[in-house]
Amino acid sequence: MIRSLCEKADVCIIGSGPAGATFARLLEESGKNGVILEAGAQHSPKYGENLKNAALYQRNKTLFSHIVRGQLNPVSVASTPGGDTTGDAASAENSAPSVNGTNPEQDPSRNLPEAGITHAVGGMATHWTGTSPRQHPVVERSPLLTPSEWDRLYTEAERILRVSTTEFDDSIAHQLVLDALREEYKELEAPYDVQSLPLAAQRRAASTGLVEWTGVDTILGPLAAPGRSDRFRVLSQHLCTRLATDSAGSRVSYAEAQDLLTGESLRIEADSFVVAGGGVATAQLMWASCIRPSALGRYLTDHPLAFCQVVLLPELVKQPIPEDDLEPNVWIPLSASRPWHCMIHRDAFQYGDRIPNVDRRLVVDLRWHGMVEPRADNRVTFSDQHRDKFGLPQPTFDFTLSASDRAQHHAMMSDMLRAAMSIGGFLPGAEPRFMPLGLSQHIAGATRMGNSPEDSVVDCNSRVWGIDNLYLGGNNVIPTATACNPTLTSVALAVKAARHLSNG
Amino acid sequence: MIRSLCEKADVCIIGSGPAGATFARLLEESGKNGVILEAGAQHSPKYGENLKNAALYQRNKTLFSHIVRGQLNPVSVASTPGGDTTGDAASAENSAPSVNGTNPEQDPSRNLPEAGITHAVGGMATHWTGTSPRQHPVVERSPLLTPSEWDRLYTEAERILRVSTTEFDDSIAHQLVLDALREEYKELEAPYDVQSLPLAAQRRAASTGLVEWTGVDTILGPLAAPGRSDRFRVLSQHLCTRLATDSAGSRVSYAEAQDLLTGESLRIEADSFVVAGGGVATAQLMWASCIRPSALGRYLTDHPLAFCQVVLLPELVKQPIPEDDLEPNVWIPLSASRPWHCMIHRDAFQYGDRIPNVDRRLVVDLRWHGMVEPRADNRVTFSDQHRDKFGLPQPTFDFTLSASDRAQHHAMMSDMLRAAMSIGGFLPGAEPRFMPLGLSQHIAGATRMGNSPEDSVVDCNSRVWGIDNLYLGGNNVIPTATACNPTLTSVALAVKAARHLSNG
Amino acid sequence: MIRSLCEKADVCIIGSGPAGATFARLLEESGKNGVILEAGAQHSPKYGENLKNAALYQRNKTLFSHIVRGQLNPVSVASTPGGDTTGDAASAENSAPSVNGTNPEQDPSRNLPEAGITHAVGGMATHWTGTSPRQHPVVERSPLLTPSEWDRLYTEAERILRVSTTEFDDSIAHQLVLDALREEYKELEAPYDVQSLPLAAQRRAASTGLVEWTGVDTILGPLAAPGRSDRFRVLSQHLCTRLATDSAGSRVSYAEAQDLLTGESLRIEADSFVVAGGGVATAQLMWASCIRPSALGRYLTDHPLAFCQVVLLPELVKQPIPEDDLEPNVWIPLSASRPWHCMIHRDAFQYGDRIPNVDRRLVVDLRWHGMVEPRADNRVTFSDQHRDKFGLPQPTFDFTLSASDRAQHHAMMSDMLRAAMSIGGFLPGAEPRFMPLGLSQHIAGATRMGNSPEDSVVDCNSRVWGIDNLYLGGNNVIPTATACNPTLTSVALAVKAARHLSNG
Amino acid sequence: MIRSLCEKADVCIIGSGPAGATFARLLEESGKNGVILEAGAQHSPKYGENLKNAALYQRNKTLFSHIVRGQLNPVSVASTPGGDTTGDAASAENSAPSVNGTNPEQDPSRNLPEAGITHAVGGMATHWTGTSPRQHPVVERSPLLTPSEWDRLYTEAERILRVSTTEFDDSIAHQLVLDALREEYKELEAPYDVQSLPLAAQRRAASTGLVEWTGVDTILGPLAAPGRSDRFRVLSQHLCTRLATDSAGSRVSYAEAQDLLTGESLRIEADSFVVAGGGVATAQLMWASCIRPSALGRYLTDHPLAFCQVVLLPELVKQPIPEDDLEPNVWIPLSASRPWHCMIHRDAFQYGDRIPNVDRRLVVDLRWHGMVEPRADNRVTFSDQHRDKFGLPQPTFDFTLSASDRAQHHAMMSDMLRAAMSIGGFLPGAEPRFMPLGLSQHIAGATRMGNSPEDSVVDCNSRVWGIDNLYLGGNNVIPTATACNPTLTSVALAVKAARHLSNG
């Protein structure tokens, strides 16, 4: 575990998800070379493919939900003190306050229990839904950027992620749900009316009935083929354990990493560093590196998620749905009077163990995502005593919903019920409910952007206050309450940051 | 879906699991070129790595059980006629005899409900346990081969799979369990006494506490690196849909395949063909190709599996077990008086949703595998009416246990209870039980080897009776009742077959 | 099992539930003597007390739900052919088409799976909710009776059952829910607006915070005390197995019964016979007695039930709710435009195993009961081959919902969601759903009243067509679709029938 | 709630279970009059019948398990701090440390979670199994009594409870299990060999196939018929809340009770008082009455219970078992080398929700009961702050198993597995496990008998040290570790105490 290698590069990027990949692509295009450190393994021939593109999962989506679950390493599992009171050896070990990596400091009522970290080349893009809406101009977007800059950045991000709203137009189920919801929500006016979801996806040759979902391979472009680029290398299963700063603390000198398979240590020297390790892990690495600004880990936001599945009403299904018909992907965008983001679609995720005896082509998911107001005391802390499975400081959530958050979510649930009833009856086992927090994996704010180091961690170029050569990427940079899927916004902010870095 | 490509090769191998890979490696070494058709996707940089080698799963084995589940496409799911009787739209579709790809011809009491097919480059070796025992010389091995030929083939197969019995020797838990069971089973004599499991695995640098498990990349050797070999190519996500024979039916002329992503058709012409698609899928392809010898799909055998988990007795744990201690891997081989194969270890599989509040280092799995006598009426049939999700004839199991099978399994359960009680108390939720059939994914016999086409499908060189250039590989070739993990045996038989083919 | 006793009486009543008890009380008052045969046991000092009056269950309502479940003997449990496929003795018996009293003739998708028969002195009144609304004058009531006759009979039935709407007026939770729903449903006009439920209940001394719920003891009055009356005797645990008719088939000569504890046979001769054995058992006894008019068992109706539980919105709970505050009992009656019967209350029934960590005083149940149009082919049949646990012909349901039934229930669910959202958030585990059919135990129609023997079993006086001295009682007599709880209506019809009988 | 009644009697007995009833019967026979206070309701025509005698439950035993569950009021349910983290109103109340009567002082790992109190006239005899073995002369019986006195008392207790070992002799299943276990356990010698269970039961007329199980009505004899005796009255639903002592504290002056239905207070003056309220409630009443000797609540013992169900081996079932065959009731008594009490029978209790598709006549239960050594720190305490649902001090358990307890239970489990395997295969869902503590409702020791007030609460006549006219009854009086069902022993000790009282 001792042999120490040293590498040098223009840029060292930690994390190979969409934000990190955006940095890599743009910096390579601007002539820089670099190294990407990724703690997870490579699961596809090209770097970071979206694994649900596999023919198997396109034909058996339920199977893919297991893959997703197998890729998400839980952030903080509350210990359950006590235990069983049976008579044999089994209870001999009950006295331990924490076993099996559970977190004894986690209050279960203040947890984001479903929060996980994807360990994979490609990060969460190996299994994401591809939903890529822009934030609402007023309700969600931060005023730190001008409207025109937002538009410009979003346009570029949409190109990078290959976003489209027309790929499912010839799906019978899609049109059927679209029409029924437009009929129900007649009062909504463009651009906030019922419409097709913007998706980072592209139909394959029409004949196949298959979709190719964007992954990090799409973002990386030519860099995605292993061995193709001299200038950017991906070091998979290499965990960055520390950023070392110079004596003044104003620059990062090098990153320390561990080869998780051999145990060898690595030191990466670079001119600039980008940390894009995910909503919690980015803050965790800063904490582990003793870069601990006061806003670090605070102002956490999440998407409370109201969910149900319905079986389409018989009167809506006027013709048989072919076996290879694509699923619906319908959207009701957030607006000022409806501050929630509505997806009416069919996801790989399945929350029950068993699909009832109902034709899956008639089943539609409804997911209504709400917002949480950013509050300084909604936070993740890191332990100096407990370590996670990789030896880094154990994160602990301290998160609650305010009365006004709850009131908004209650109104959101009512609205979801309206939409559900207009298209179907509840699927037994998937009745309307709020899902446990953290499930959408959209935790934002832990290293938020701002105007001042007092209540933010990075400036408007995603550069850490006071550290000249350290940039951050990912949802953790988003400073505002947001209901819609944040990836497009994170990529947009990464574009701005990468431009600044390459010009800097 | 129309553009048709045509390729030519010395050999066309269908299936990229351990048997197919063994053929490829040996045929390439003998100078032949070829194409491997694999319906599944590639999930690792090299072809067919064992995915549990990832650092994440070495640290969080429970997580890996989801990956396994996500890779196994069920063979035959019985339809559940009827359905709910609630009042809303949900039950509108109850009348359909079969929905969501379930099999209306499957009698649930004659099913192997947990049987699955791994769709992946590397086949089941992407997630296998690596357990590689030789069959018992008398009780399990087929007399079709001489004892010395068996020994020679096993030795070669062990080299190919990199089998060892010493990798876990410095594990505290391993030694503790080994000692306790040796104490309990004092009456057993070598070579059938309590010992270390032979495993296709190799410790990484001692310092890391990690193991590298054999995958198909190990078998392929230099062929495993994409683009490295001119002579053997892997076409992933290409489903072989038919073997076309010449007019006499005595030779395969070409294989038809479908690119599952583009829908394009492919025709592969070759001098020889090897089908090694898995225990059921190999027989399925023959059926789909109208190669239907009378023994096809018959004489199926499986491993009834008695299972429990125990928490080690406090008096056995004389010292604390370090966090990074390796798990136990202990074996009691099958012998004439104990016709079952016993593994005392710690697998990634988890059958309960929730691990009780017990330190996982104290938990040990017991798996006792029994035998099923080969009977002509234990079989899998293929439907000319129903298709599976890939358009091939739907398999249906017709499988029962005889009274003598059951009596033997009952004795096996008693023995497992003896072993369990000698080392621990039952883990709540993992009490002793028989697992549903098919779970071990060791179905054998569907294209069994034999002396006559009357009760077998292939000859002693794994060549299909009556078709000169068609060889088969995989557990399906094994003709005898077998309790131990069959992969080593399948590789041994593939070695023999590949030699014959390359010399032929 | 052979010794045969013979009794004589003016009237022999089969069944001791509310309808049977009403007959007994009125007939006794008119000077007749009689015998009541009841298959169930006596569970209280007086005949047929409502068991939930016990102090224990008033303090721990969840506990009472077990008692209810323990009193309901399922009518028809569908067999599950097949079974497990494990290896030990356990599956030796899989081949049996039916075990443990399950019904091999029952199609699970045409069942009323939760239908049960209460075996107890007092019938279902030993555990009923006491809800006693009148049917809607137009939507529900049968035109066979005149409006004024209905009013007169209802008034008498309310007196007999001791119905009140004011017993919960000083409950804080009751007023809170009443006010909130009145605010939500402002458009509803009296008498169909939000109001207090009519309940067969009476507050005990105000100081205790307890309610005394009506049972059959209330109906029987002085007859309820064992040994008090010379004229009416209750023979508990005596199963009536047959009614014997004279040679012309126009009169019942005697009833045969079995003492279930001693096995002795009994013969009861009487001038008149009343069968009031419950929604299904009354028809079953007729079938067993070879009294099989063409409408017997047909035109079955049930109450599809939409259910959820909510936790009250914090803004509604303006003051702490005392520990001994009574539960809410709020009603929105059925009306022409809202053809469903709405109960907003707190029942003993609990559908989840575990109450979440929520103060029970904040939990409110919503039960919306719908109607099913009477159709001749919605029926219960009786088997000449299979017997139930008491040796009588096994009932089998053949029941489906029509498209218009479903459409109405869908609208009902939407309305329940509106009400739910106006007062609370869904209690995790008790989200809105349709309950399995039969659960409300309100199956009606099996021996319906009518104008003609062609489509009915009894005339307007509840006398069986063509059998002069045989009267029927219970929900089975109600001929119309009904959404509201039927007990009051059954008692009203029993009053009319008893008057006819005593005058006849 | 204020009107106070006053009654006078020779004896006031608190609790109407077997011990209390034994006092009543013997004291009445000696010419005394008295009052029995019982918190629960009367559920049968006679006082305290065994409810499972009902024809319904004799035909449907599973149904009866719900009744049992509905009669047991949990003693101490640990609070679960925390709660869900979803977004709606549901979690508004998460902050409360205790809701719904849960006990915030209860450590779940030191609980007897299944302990319950039966509120019913007849106490636990309304649903008990009737198993009535004598304690082992050396291993279990207390040396406080001489062997001959034990024999005399046991003989009398067996007469009172109507104990027999021959009632199931003509059951095919009984003989079959008896024979198979005798064959397996050949080494056991009388009187500790395999034999029929002593049961407090009596066959009804042979023709019926029914059994009449002993209840408190059997014990009370003529006193069981309400209104029959002038000398002893049962006041049901009257909770004794306090015993008032004289100023010296050496005599009880009167008992205070509350009519749970009317709220009225009652004062009962008597010459003597007997408290027989159950294993925990008896100690609770003493605590509430400020009678708090140092041993009160200490030296608690329970029966750790190993349980499984098996399906009989096909080879044992040589003839079909008739539908009305009685269940097996086989016993292997505890002996010095096998310190556990073994029941092989078929109980009404069902631990899984669903009986698998296996003929119930082939299913046999195994229950192995172990012992716990009496230790002063295994105890129940009573809270001065928290109240139970009836306003009495909330009990909290502080109970653990010692290493030697656990070792003995492990050996017991091994032995149960031996017995199980000799007769059947595990029933899926009922595999061998230790049940949660408290389940057998046999908690003993809380007011143990002894030679000195230092480590006991009562003397050898069950009289409380230092209080001349206060006697205790019930399992709580038993001072030793005991594995067998304690009721017979408690009745034996009550006989001795009642004699002392009536002679005193």
Closest-CA residue of chain A to B62? A70
Question: Which of A63, A235, A318 to mutate to test binding with chain B, by most B CBs within 10 Å of its CB?
Answer: A63
Whole-number Å distance between alpha carbons of C82 and C97? 8
- Is D468 exposed, middle or buried (CB count within 10 Å of its CB: 0-12, 13-18, 19+)? exposed
Residue-level pLDDT at D1: 44
- D91 CB neighbours in chain A (<8 A) are 109, 401
Contact criterion met (CB < 8 Å) for C205 and D92:
no
**Positions of B marked active-site:** 442, 485
Question: Which of C85, C110, C369, C412 to mutate to test binding with chain B, by most B CBs within 10 Å of its CB?
Answer: C85
Q: At residue B189, does pLDDT exceed 80?
A: yes
Average pLDDT taken over every residue of chain C:
92
Q: Is A107 on the interface with C (CB under 8 A)?
A: no
Contact criterion met (CB < 8 Å) for D204 and C261:
yes
Q: Is D358 on the interface with B (CB under 8 A)?
A: no
The answer to whether residues B252 and B245 touch, using CB atoms and an 8 Å cutoff, is: yes
| Shortest CA gap A414–chain C (Å) | 6
**H or E stretch covering C210:** none
Q: Is A387 on the interface with B (CB under 8 A)?
A: no
Q: Which chains touch B (3 or more CB pairs under 8 A)?
A: A, C, D
Residue-level pLDDT at B353: 46
- B87 CB neighbours in chain C (<8 A) are 304-306, 370, 401, 405-406, 409, 434, 437
Nearest to A347 by CA among A377, A399, A307: A307
Question: Which of B61, B73, B264, B357 to mutate to test binding with chain A, by most A CBs within 10 Å of its CB?
Answer: B357
The answer to whether residues D28 and C43 touch, using CB atoms and an 8 Å cutoff, is: no
Q: Which residues contact D315 (CB under 8 A, 6 or more apart)?
A: none
What is the number of other CB atoms lying within 10 angstroms of the CB of residue B386?
17
Mean of pLDDT values over D136-142: 97
Interface of B with A in 359-378 (CB under 8 A): 359-360, 362
Question: Which of A357, A388, A427 to mutate to test binding with chain B, by most B CBs within 10 Å of its CB?
Answer: A357
Among C50, C442, C469, C475, the one annotated catalytic: C442
Q: At residue B407, does pLDDT exceed 50?
A: yes
Q: Which residues contact D300 (CB under 8 A, 6 or more apart)?
A: D374, D378, D379, D380, D397, D399, D443, D444, D445, D446
- Is A3 exposed, middle or buried (CB count within 10 Å of its CB: 0-12, 13-18, 19+)? exposed
What CA–CA distances, in Å, run from B103 to A428, B79, B444, C88, D7? 22, 5, 22, 26, 74
Contact criterion met (CB < 8 Å) for B108 and C437:
no
Contact criterion met (CB < 8 Å) for D109 and A434:
no
Whole-number Å distance between alpha carbons of B412 and D426? 13
Cis peptide before A198 (omega within 30 of 0): no
Among A136, A442, A469, A476, the one annotated catalytic: A442
| pLDDT digits 0-9 by tens, A346-386 | 986 555 445 557 888 889 999 999 999 999 999 999 998 99
| % of chain B at pLDDT higher than 70 | 93
Q: Is C107 on the interface with A (CB under 8 A)?
A: no
Q: Is B93 on the interface with C (CB under 8 A)?
A: no
| pLDDT digits 0-9 by tens, A429-472 | 899 999 999 999 999 999 999 999 999 999 999 999 999 999 99
Nearest to B86 among A43, A44, A428 (CB): A428
Q: What is the DSSP letter of D141?
A: S
Nearest to D406 among A84, A87, A110 (CB): A87
- A42 CB neighbours in chain B (<8 A) are 44-45
Nearest to A237 by CA among A6, A430, A42: A42
Structure-token match 């032979």, residue found? B198
Amino acid letter, residue A216: V
- A318 CB neighbours in chain B (<8 A) are none
Interface of A with C in 258-317 (CB under 8 A): 313-314
Among A50, A329, A469, A485, the one annotated catalytic: A485
Q: C392: which 2 tokens? A: 């009588």
| pLDDT digits 0-9 by tens, D321-336 | 888 899 999 999 999 9
Whole-number Å distance between alpha carbons of C443 and C379? 11
What is the number of other CB atoms lying within 10 angstroms of the CB of residue A206?
9
Q: Is B321 on the interface with D (CB under 8 A)?
A: no
| pLDDT digits 0-9 by tens, C306-362 | 999 999 998 899 888 888 899 999 999 999 999 999 999 998 655 544 555 788 888
Nearest to B109 by CA among B437, B483, B381: B437
Q: Is D355 on the interface with C (CB under 8 A)?
A: yes
Q: What is the DSSP letter of D361?
A: G
Contact criterion met (CB < 8 Å) for D310 and C89:
yes
Contact criterion met (CB < 8 Å) for B406 and C435:
no
Contact criterion met (CB < 8 Å) for A70 and B70:
yes
Residue-level pLDDT at A96: 55
The answer to whether residues D471 and D461 touch, using CB atoms and an 8 Å cutoff, is: yes
Amino acid letter, residue C5: L
Q: At residue D308, does pLDDT exceed 80?
A: yes
The answer to whether residues A309 and A430 touch, using CB atoms and an 8 Å cutoff, is: yes
Active site residue C442: yes
Residue-level pLDDT at A225: 93
Whole-number Å distance between alpha carbons of C437 and D209? 35
Closest-CA residue of chain D to C42? D44
Whole-number Å distance between alpha carbons of C503 and C20? 18
The answer to whether residues D334 and D139 touch, using CB atoms and an 8 Å cutoff, is: yes
Whole-number Å distance between alpha carbons of B437 and C464? 57
**H or E stretch covering C351:** none
Number of helices (H), then strands (E), belonging to chain D: the values are 9, 21
Q: Which residues contact B405 (CB under 8 A, 6 or more apart)?
A: B304, B370, B371, B372, B373, C87
Q: At residue D213, does pLDDT exceed 70?
A: yes
- A413 CB neighbours in chain C (<8 A) are 421, 425-426
Along the 504 residues of chain A, how does pLDDT read in single tens digits? 445 667 789 999 999 999 999 999 999 999 999 999 999 999 999 999 999 999 999 888 889 999 999 999 999 998 876 655 565 765 454 445 567 888 999 998 899 999 999 999 999 999 999 999 999 999 999 999 999 999 999 999 999 999 999 999 999 999 999 999 999 999 999 999 999 999 999 998 766 678 999 999 999 999 999 887 778 999 999 999 999 999 999 999 999 999 999 889 999 999 999 999 999 999 999 999 999 999 999 999 999 999 999 999 988 998 888 888 999 999 999 999 999 999 999 986 555 445 557 888 889 999 999 999 999 999 999 998 999 999 999 999 999 999 899 999 999 999 999 999 999 999 888 999 999 999 999 999 999 999 999 999 999 999 999 999 999 999 999 999 999 999 999 999 999 999 999 987
SS3 of B134-173:
CCCCCCCCCCCCCHHHHHHHHHHHHHHHCEECCCCCCCHH
Q: How sure is the predictor about B477, in pLDDT bands with cuts at 50, 70 and 90? A: very high
Q: In B407-446, which positions are buried (b, 16+ CB within 10 angstroms) versus exposed (e)?
A: bbbbbbbbbbbebbbbbbbbbbbbbbbbbbbbbbbbbbbb
Contact criterion met (CB < 8 Å) for A403 and C314:
yes
| Shortest CA gap A133–chain C (Å) | 29
What is the number of other CB atoms lying within 10 angstroms of the CB of residue C402?
12
Whole-number Å distance between alpha carbons of C330 and C346? 10
Q: Is C206 on the interface with D (CB under 8 A)?
A: no
Q: How sure is the predictor about B80, in pLDDT bands with cuts at 50, 70 and 90? A: confident
| Shortest CA gap D278–chain C (Å) | 16
Quote the pTM value: 0.96
* DSSP secondary structure letters along D68-119: HHHHEEES-PBP--S----SSGGGGGTT-S--TT-BTT--GGG--TT-EEE-
Whole-number Å distance between alpha carbons of A412 and A433? 11
Closest-CA residue of chain B to D403? B314
Question: Which of D212, D358, D417 to mutate to test binding with chain C, by most C CBs within 10 Å of its CB?
Answer: D358
Cis peptide before B191 (omega within 30 of 0): yes
Contact criterion met (CB < 8 Å) for D413 and B425:
yes
* DSSP secondary structure letters along A203-266: E-SGGG--EEE--HHHHHGGGGSTTS-SSEEEETTEEEEEEEE-TTSSSEEEEEEEETTT--EE
Whole-number Å distance between alpha carbons of A276 and A274? 6
Residue-level pLDDT at C209: 75
- Phi, psi for residue A455 in degrees, rounded to 5: -125, 25
Handedness of CA C105, C109, C112, C113 (dihedral sign): positive
- Is B202 exposed, middle or buried (CB count within 10 Å of its CB: 0-12, 13-18, 19+)? middle
Nearest to A64 by CA among B74, B67, B126: B67
Residue-level pLDDT at A356: 59
Q: At residue B349, does pLDDT exceed 90?
A: no
The answer to whether residues C440 and C302 touch, using CB atoms and an 8 Å cutoff, is: yes
**H or E stretch covering C115:** none
Contact criterion met (CB < 8 Å) for B425 and D410:
yes
Whole-number Å distance between alpha carbons of D39 and D36? 10
Residue-level pLDDT at C350: 59
Handedness of CA B461, B467, B471, B476 (dihedral sign): negative
Q: At residue B397, does pLDDT exceed 90?
A: yes
Q: What is the DSSP letter of A463?
A: B
- B305 CB neighbours in chain C (<8 A) are 87
| Shortest CA gap B107–chain C (Å) | 7
Q: D325: which 2 tokens? A: 């065959």
Nearest to A410 among D89, D401, D409 (CB): D89
Q: Which of A388-392, C410-414, D84-88, D232-236 shows the lowest mean pLDDT across its residues?
A: D84-88
Interface of C with D in 113-142 (CB under 8 A): 119
Contact criterion met (CB < 8 Å) for A310 and B89:
yes
Q: Which chains touch C (3 or more CB pairs under 8 A)?
A: A, B, D
Whole-number Å distance between alpha carbons of A277 and A120? 11
